[in-house]
Structure 1
Amino acid sequence: MFALRSGRNRGMAGAGLLGFSYSDEGLVLPRLLRRPARVLARLTSGEIVPPRYSATIMTATFFAVTGLYGSYVGGHIPTVVQAITSRTGFAVDQVRVTGHRETSEIDILEKLELDGWTSLIGFNAETARERVASLPWVQVASVRKVYPNTLEVQIEERKPFAIWQQGRELSIVDAAGRVIAPFNGGRHAGLPLVVGIGAAQAADAFVKKVKGYPELAGRVKGYIRVAERRWDLWLENGVTIKLPERGEDEAITALLEMDREEGLLARDIKSVDLRFSDRVVVQLTPDAVVRRAKALAEMAKARKSAAGKRI
């Protein structure tokens, strides 16, 4: 049959292809195939009787292996794991979120992408953390699995520093000048207003400097960056203070001294220009200009009248 008779006529066997040999009695199998061949021969000859239902078991095993291989090739193994483990007590049914103030809990849950049958075993916490960290207010995020069925999400949010106006757009920025989110009013209305190109990035140090002068800081409504070189201060009463590019502290000190002595900032003026080292230029409002012109005309008329009487 297979010429496996304990090596008889071994010396007469000739070499063949793929490791097979040929002898006078037939084909001689390689050593590794001889035992499986003997088992197969005994099965076909009836010496070995297979167990009952062995054909059914082998068929089921074949289909199971085929299904697993197909799932592997098609990339469906994670889905299969999710489906099995979620129905055995590992489905996520509780999420604990901490550290959020500006970020909506609904937005966080959406980033977790839970579908009601998500298994904690197959859940990718790192991928979920990256999605949560992409939310506008989130600076740092962590997602932790607590078995058997809980997710813990902890976030650290960015700190709002100012409202940045560029053109007609208003945005909330942090101290580094990075935009966090559009400004829509609410509790952030009390943040400092910084205006102009480059204002968001340069505002932190300058706002801190102005806060060192409480008499002035309490009146400031906006910080305006001019040509990315210097600052103007816009006061609550509409007066604009034009500061120099260098020597801001000296200019502010001189301004506050004039205000204490002459009440400069309470007058009907439009701006105070402190950019020149040798003089201070004060611009009146249009109404003040009219009143001043009228007053000067009346003074001139009075002097003329007095001079006529003396003649």
Structure 2
Amino acid sequence: MTVHTQTDKRFRRSQHPTRRPRRAVRRWWRIVRGMSVAAGVAFGGYQATVASFLSIDAIVVRGIDQLSEGEVLALVAGLRDENILTVDLELHRGRLVASPWLRDGTLRRILPSTIEVQVTERAPVALARLGERLYLVEDNGTVIDEYGPRFARFDLPIVEGLALRGPDGRTVDTSRMALAARLLRQLSARPDILDSISAIDVSDPYDAVVLLNDDPALLHLGGDQFLERLRSYAELGPTLRERVPNIDYVDLRFGQRVYVGPAGESRGADPERFEHAVRAPDVNE
């Protein structure tokens, strides 16, 4: 037999969905949103403070002699106000060494906001005549800059015959420049003799021809022993002028025999063509 009993209402499941307190949810949402805004403002302020703190505001230049500090700073002007941690130093180094006056350069970070620029300058050793103009050149033949009044402080010999034939007329023959550089390097031990040279011609890469101040004779020195041969000429000069009053050139390349070309003869070294030859003093005595 089935027995039916009435269920106690206290144990019945509610037939209506439970309602959550909306006010509490909204309150928590406002709290979370407020905290997010506050965190964003705080982070933004921190970022702004850090960005300002690490913004490059000082550039120190070292190693300059020929260039001014302002000229170097102009090459790396883009560094200003960049973030010192993220700035591309290699990019700015490329702009730095693009200057024909600079052989090399390095950039170093000094926290919090300073960049140190260390440069190695090129050193001009001569004035090369390229076309109708004079240019400052390095000992390896690198053309540095066109010579002008602002470089009047350089007292350098003029080198002829360096240019190769080309569309711009500014390409330097490296073998001829090597000859000129070798001559200048050897004579650097005697600044008095080096200062007496007015011009150098290296059209022949095996024969350096020099012109001295206040002396119209062209001196053929060959490819080496430049100092010894110039000393020989200095000792022999009075004797040469007694025999040949008007000298066009003197060839000092053949050891103890010095060949003198009178004015009006073609220049060069052809011993069979010279009637005037005198024995030079032994430079080792």
What's the TM-score once normalised by structure 1's chain length?
A: 0.56
Q: Which has the larger radius of gyration?
A: 1
2 CA distance for matches of 1:176 and 1:182? Answer: 17
- 1:258 is aligned to 236
Q: How many residues align?
A: 224
1:169 to 133, 145, 151: 133
Question: Counterpart amino acid of 1:156?
Answer: T
**Structure 1 residues 152 and 236, CA, compared in 2 at 3 Å: closer, same or farther?**
same
- 2:54 is aligned to 90
- 2:183 is aligned to 206
Alpha-carbon distance, 1:196 to partner: 0.9
> CA offsets, 1:94-125, max 9 Å, x none?
22112112223233223323475322233222
Q: Does 1:99 align with 2:63?
A: yes
2 CA distance for matches of 1:263 and 1:52? Answer: 109
How much identity, in percent, do the aligned residues show?
21
- 2:159 is aligned to 194
Question: Counterpart amino acid of 2:180?
Answer: A
1 CA distance for matches of 2:244 and 2:193? Answer: 12
SS of residue paired to 1:233: strand
SS of residue paired to 1:118: coil
**Structure 1 residues 283 and 188, CA, compared in 2 at 3 Å: closer, same or farther?**
farther
- 2:218 is aligned to 240
Q: Give 5+ residue unaligned stretches, structure 2.
A: 1-17, 163-172, 266-285
**Structure 1 residues 126 and 59, CA, compared in 2 at 3 Å: closer, same or farther?**
same
Equivalence map 1:121-136=2 (5 Å): 121-136=85-100
2 CA distance for matches of 1:108 and 1:280? Answer: 51
C-alpha contact (below 8 Å) 1:144/1:153 kept by paired residues:
yes
SS of residue paired to 1:140: strand
2 CA distance for matches of 1:254 and 1:85? Answer: 74
- 1:12 is aligned to none
Q: Give 5+ residue unaligned stretches, structure 1.
A: 1-43, 65-79, 287-311
> CA offsets, 1:191-216, max 9 Å, x none?
23221133323212123345667886
Question: Counterpart amino acid of 1:125?
Answer: L
C-alpha contact (below 8 Å) 1:239/1:265 kept by paired residues:
no
**Structure 1 residues 264 and 103, CA, compared in 2 at 3 Å: closer, same or farther?**
farther
C-alpha contact (below 8 Å) 2:218/2:250 kept by paired residues:
yes
Q: Does 1:280 align with 2:259?
A: yes
- 2:204 is aligned to 227
Equivalence map 1:104-119=2 (5 Å): 104-114=68-78, 117-119=81-83
Moved more, 148-157 or 111-120: 111-120
> CA offsets, 1:68-105, max 9 Å, x none?
xxxxxxxxxxxx9xx94675422222221121122232
2 CA distance for matches of 1:182 and 1:102? Answer: 14
Query: Which has the higher relative contact order, 1 or 2, with Cα contacts under 8 A spaced 6 or more apart?
Result: 2
Equivalence map 1:148-159=2 (5 Å): 148-159=112-123
2 CA distance for matches of 1:265 and 1:252? Answer: 19
Question: Counterpart amino acid of 2:103?
Answer: Q
> CA offsets, 1:234-285, max 9 Å, x none?
1222322234568867865653443143556995433334567877233237
- 1:53 is aligned to 30
Q: Does 1:179 align with 2:143?
A: yes
> CA offsets, 1:42-78, max 9 Å, x none?
xx98599742237957998xxx9xxxxxxxxxxxxxx
**Structure 1 residues 264 and 106, CA, compared in 2 at 3 Å: closer, same or farther?**
farther
C-alpha contact (below 8 Å) 2:56/2:79 kept by paired residues:
no
- 1:17 is aligned to none
C-alpha contact (below 8 Å) 2:183/2:224 kept by paired residues:
no
